């Protein structure tokens, strides 16, 4: 791993766990054993470092999901929906720093004045919503999903799952203990009520 990559990795962890303002460039530098001026050599400002972190998180998320869907096959839309929710929760555990970062307010505030930031966030959330929507549409075709607006329902499912992950990351209650209930709720939310599967 190059020094630049090391810095990016350290910055991801620090921005995620401590926030933007609470993370100093000296901290990022010392975590990689470099001088603080070295960080400024690779990234011209703290904001640019943050944008690079966010962009790399975006790439990571998109790559992880496309890899998951490349391997996994589903027999119907409802199963795909449940699989996606499961994978979302799995990812929120194995790549906790990504979701911690996305659950901070700073990125969204920066997005209001910075196009690169806004685009990274849009790409990330479109990735999530598109996948949920795709599962719902497929389920409506194969009959496993009931009559509903796929886009809006996808947004509400994302709200639920993302809200749960956030509560877990805030130590308010454990998402794991709610897993079975979540799947049941999603099923009641979306499944075709007139068909037993």
Partner DNA sequence: AGCATAACTGACCGATCAGTTAGTTTTTAT
Partner DNA sequence: ATAAAAACTAACTGATCGGTCAGTTATGCT
Q: Please state, in angstroms and rounded to a whole number, the distance separating the CA atoms of residues 16 and 50.
A: 10
113 is a contact residue toward a copy of itself (CB under 8 A): no
Q: Where are the alpha helices (DSSP H) in 43-194?
A: 46-71, 77-94, 96-102, 106-111, 115-142, 150-169, 179-190
Q: Per-residue contact track with DNA, 17 to 36, x per CB under 7 A?
A: ------xxxxx-----xxxx
- Identify the DSSP state of 22: T
Find the shortest distance in angstroms from Cβ 51 to DNA.
12
- In this structure, the chain runs to a length of 197
Out of DNA, a copy of itself, none, what residue 178 binds, judged by CB under 5 to 8 A for its kind, is a copy of itself
Contact between 42 and DNA (CB under 7 A)?
Answer: yes
| Positive or negative: CA dihedral 177, 181, 185, 191 | positive
- Give the shortest CB-9-to-DNA separation in angstroms: 14
Element (H, E) at 17: helix 3-18
Given a copy of itself, DNA, none, residue 40, with its beta carbon under 5 to 8 Å by kind, binds DNA
* Cβ(190)–Cβ(138) below 8 Å: no
- Measured from the CB atom, is 6 or 162 closer to a copy of itself? 162
- Asked whether the beta carbons of 136 and 191 are under 8 A apart, the reply is no
Find the binder of a copy of itself among 96, 116, 127, 156 (CB under 8 A).
156
Greatest distance between any 2 Cα atoms in the chain: 65
Interface contacts to DNA, rule CB under 7 A: 2-4, 23-27, 33-38, 40-42, 44-47
Interface contacts to a copy of itself, rule CB under 8 A: 19, 21-22, 100, 103-106, 108, 111-112, 121, 125, 148-149, 152-153, 155-156, 158-164, 166-167, 169-173, 177-178, 181-182, 184-185, 188-189, 193
């Amino acid at each position: 791993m190059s020094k630049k990559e090391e810095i990016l990795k350290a910055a991801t962890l620090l921005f995620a766990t401590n926030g933007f303002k609470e993370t100093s460039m000296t901290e990022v530098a010392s975590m990689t054993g470099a001088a603080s001026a070295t960080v400024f050599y690779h990234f011209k400002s703290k904001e640019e470092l943050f944008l690079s972190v966010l962009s790399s998180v975006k790439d990571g998320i998109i790559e992880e999901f496309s890899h998951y869907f490349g391997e996994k096959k589903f027999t119907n839309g409802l199963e795909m929906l449940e699989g996606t929710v499961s994978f979302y929760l799995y990812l929120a555990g194995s790549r906790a720093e990504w979701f911690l970062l996305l659950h901070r307010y700073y990125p969204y505030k920066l997005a209001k004045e910075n196009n690169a930031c806004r685009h990274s966030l849009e790409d990330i959330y479109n990735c999530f919503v598109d996948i949920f929507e795709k599962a719902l549409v497929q389920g409506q075709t194969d009959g496993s999903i009931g009559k509903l607006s796929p886009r809006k329902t996808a947004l509400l499912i994302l709200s639920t799952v993302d809200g749960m992950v956030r509560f877990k990351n805030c130590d308010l209650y454990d998402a794991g203990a709610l897993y079975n209930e979540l799947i049941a709720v999603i099923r009641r939310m979306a499944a075709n009520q007139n068909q037993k599967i």
